[in-house]
Structure 1
Amino acid sequence: MKFVRVPAGEFMMGSGEPAESLSRDYPAYAPEDLQALGDEGPRHRVRITRAFWLGQHEVTVDQFRRFLEASGYTPESIADGTGGYGYNPAYDPASSARGERFEGRNPRYAWHDPGFPQTGGDPVVNVSWNDAVAMARWLSEREGVRYRLPTEAEWEYACRAGTTTRYSTGDDAASLLGAAALLDLDTAQRWPNRLPFALPGHDGYVFTAPVGSFAPNAFGLFDMHGNVWEWVADRYGEHYYAESPTDDPPGPAAGDLHVRRGGSWATSALYLRSSYRNWNTAQTRYTLVGMRLLREAMPRDD
């Protein structure tokens, strides 16, 4: 895996954007959907006091496969016998609350088969938070350097890469074309009910894209917006921003939910904003969720 050095620094984390302005630019969403974004605030100053190395790309199918072969680790979707989620074009979307053609949990699906074709260079999906932590722990033990998931603050700092706009590419969702795999007209072909939420345009991929297929941000990091949701280290706290420390906030000390960031290949532009937060249990595995690892800087790196 290639890692990019992210320097220490400070930034304004979160968003204080009112629902009215979001409603203007994302008209397909109901007011209650936009009001639910209140956990992105208050916008607050955060200092990242130490440089770190972040994966230039999301962890790929081939990289995850090599981890399993070398470590003997069994992913949760296989270990617990319940499998993951998968795309099934024959699945009745009426069976899903959102009209999706994803079915699961089902033992036929796991990290190596999400029901749609992937190359070894595509980001791995159907990995749980526990799977991601296990891979980081194994790498740490093998190399004698600490690997882990980034904190939510580190992730957003790296995603923004010095920007203060909705995306690292600007405020206009159209700026994501050429920088992200997301819900566009290509993907919406499979989900007609999502067409009102799709970004007009084409990113060239219906499902995941091989990592590095689009332009990087100013730090040289690829796919921070879209492709797959990325697990971060933090537990989720709806009101954590109001009480978090300024320096290197670690997230809540307790909680059953873990944060994921960045959006995915089937996620609308509203949810690809740098400030957006989502969460799942540590055991969740899904066709949209993957990971990116952080390597802590050694003293000689600072």
Structure 2
Amino acid sequence: MRTILFLGLTVAVSCAQALDSNIQNSLGMKFVLIPAGEFVMGSDESSEAMLRHYPQYDHKRFVELSDEGPAHKVRITHPFYFGQYEVTVGEFRRFVDASGYLPESEADGTGGYGYNPDYDPAKSTRGDAFEGRNPKYSWRNPGFPQDDNHPVVNVTWNDAVAMCKWLSKTEGRTYRLPTEAEWEYAGRAGTRTRYYSGDDPQSLLSAANVFDADAAKNWQQWKKFALDGPDGFAFTAPVGSFAPNAFGLYDIHGNAWEWTADWHDERYYAKSPVDDPQGPADGTVRVRRGGSWHTWSFYARSSYRNWNSQDTRYTLVGMRLLREAD
């Protein structure tokens, strides 16, 4: 084993084992090899600094970010394969058809969430055009057009784990959701900026499908939080429509939130081990990362942590899978 400097990261390279840099699995999903290495996880930006750079937000939003710190060194001691793209509608359909698995949005009879421009905002917990659980909505129908190349949404954490288990059994390889540390390490790809495209939110127009001028047409009440310009998509975009990070991963920011393996604990970073942190041993909600097509740029930062219960299914939430490099 030797170490080299790669993309600003200290990475470990095995001299005894040669791994393919790109692979494709039985469902046609493409994976990129992420080398072992170390990085600084989290954020140490003060709420005052945030307010200066995001003046359209109220100060309270920045005070509530204590779970992003302290910034701390993390070592990822083993290389792994990470989905080059978020799991698509087509890939998820092939999994469902081949396995017979019934996703939770269909299995429990309550459905998923859906975009409905005619829905009464007064009935919504969000006060907007997202209609709550309804059997007419699911991963097959989030209320807006998608084709097989769009990221699948309205999938629960349990759905994601079921897909990993089926792939592992079918292919004899270990598939799983990434830990938070693996996700941020792969997503940053050697950067310490807010986004892999830089610190400026406007840089996301070429790197991510987030809340922009196109999406703001449907949510005029939030237009002050939109990027100053269109990205061409009011809802989800075909995966790979924007510039990748230095590891060759697409849509790390935006398009769909991505489930991780970790339970959420806002104090975990203060006690996190340096090597391969696995997150808390238990909890009530799972962490999701990266933001979505409807996410304001501030919440699409590399260090931002959000969470939901395992059975949450929503029009903004999808997944990206990890395959261990065994």
Name the TM-score class by shorter chain.
Answer: over 0.9
Describe how 1:57-72 pairs up with structure 2 within 5 A. Answer: 57-72=85-100
2:264 is aligned, of 218, 236, 258, to 236
Structure 2 distance, partners of 1:193, 1:44, is 37
Query: Does structure 2 retain, via aligned residues, the 8 Å contact 1:99–1:191?
Result: no
Task: Tell me the residue number matched to 1:183.
Answer: 211
2:323 is aligned, of 276, 295, 300, to 295
1:82 aligns with 2:110: yes
Describe how 1:217-236 pairs up with structure 2 within 5 A. Answer: 217-236=245-264
Q: Report the more deviating stretch, 226-235 or 96-105.
A: 96-105
Amino acid at match of 1:93: P
Amino acid at match of 2:211: L
Structure 2 distance, partners of 1:282, 1:202, is 33
Cα deviation, residue 265, structure 1: 0.2
Structure 2 distance, partners of 1:277, 1:2, is 26
Cα deviation, residue 150, structure 1: 0.4
In angstroms, what is the RMSD of aligned CA positions?
0.7
Describe how 1:20-39 pairs up with structure 2 within 5 A. Answer: 20-39=48-67
Structure 2 distance, partners of 1:266, 1:193, is 13
Cα deviation, residue 96, structure 1: 3.0
Cα deviation, residue 99, structure 1: 2.9
Structure 1 distance, partners of 2:290, 2:257, is 5
Secondary structure of the structure 1 residue equivalent to 2:65? helix
2:137 is aligned, of 102, 109, 128, to 109
Structure 2 distance, partners of 1:74, 1:27, is 45
Structure 1 distance, partners of 2:209, 2:141, is 19
Task: Tell me the residue number matched to 1:270.
Answer: 298
Task: Tell me the residue number matched to 1:17.
Answer: 45
Structure 2 distance, partners of 1:242, 1:228, is 28
Name the % identity.
Answer: 67
Cα deviation, residue 33, structure 1: 1.0
Structure 2 distance, partners of 1:69, 1:225, is 29
Cα deviation, residue 127, structure 1: 0.1
Structure 2 distance, partners of 1:97, 1:150, is 30
Structure 2 distance, partners of 1:91, 1:38, is 35
Amino acid at match of 1:205: F
Secondary structure of the structure 2 residue equivalent to 1:202? coil
Describe how 1:119-198 pairs up with structure 2 within 5 A. Answer: 119-198=147-226
1:73 is aligned, of 74, 85, 101, to 101
Query: Does structure 1 retain, via aligned residues, the 8 Å contact 2:124–2:132?
Result: no
Cα deviation, residue 59, structure 1: 0.2
Structure 1 distance, partners of 2:147, 2:93, is 12
Cα deviation, residue 92, structure 1: 1.8
Query: Does structure 2 retain, via aligned residues, the 8 Å contact 1:99–1:193?
Result: no
Secondary structure of the structure 2 residue equivalent to 1:244? coil
Amino acid at match of 1:255: G
Cα deviation, residue 154, structure 1: 0.2
Task: Tell me the residue number matched to 2:74.
Answer: 46
Amino acid at match of 2:271: E
Q: Report the more deviating stretch, 138-147 or 88-97.
A: 88-97
Deviation track 1:120-142 (CA, whole Å, cap 9, x = no partner) reads 10000000000000000000000
1:250 is aligned, of 246, 262, 278, to 278
Structure 1 distance, partners of 2:243, 2:120, is 36
> For this pair of structures, how many residues does the alignment match?
298
Q: Which residues of structure 1 form unaligned runs of 5+?
A: none
Structure 1 distance, partners of 2:123, 2:170, is 44
Runs of 4+ with >6 A deviation: none
Secondary structure of the structure 2 residue equivalent to 1:234? strand
Secondary structure of the structure 1 residue equivalent to 2:261? strand
Cα deviation, residue 97, structure 1: 4.7
Amino acid at match of 1:184: D
Structure 1 distance, partners of 2:205, 2:184, is 20
Structure 2 distance, partners of 1:99, 1:211, is 29
Cα deviation, residue 95, structure 1: 2.9
Amino acid at match of 1:127: V
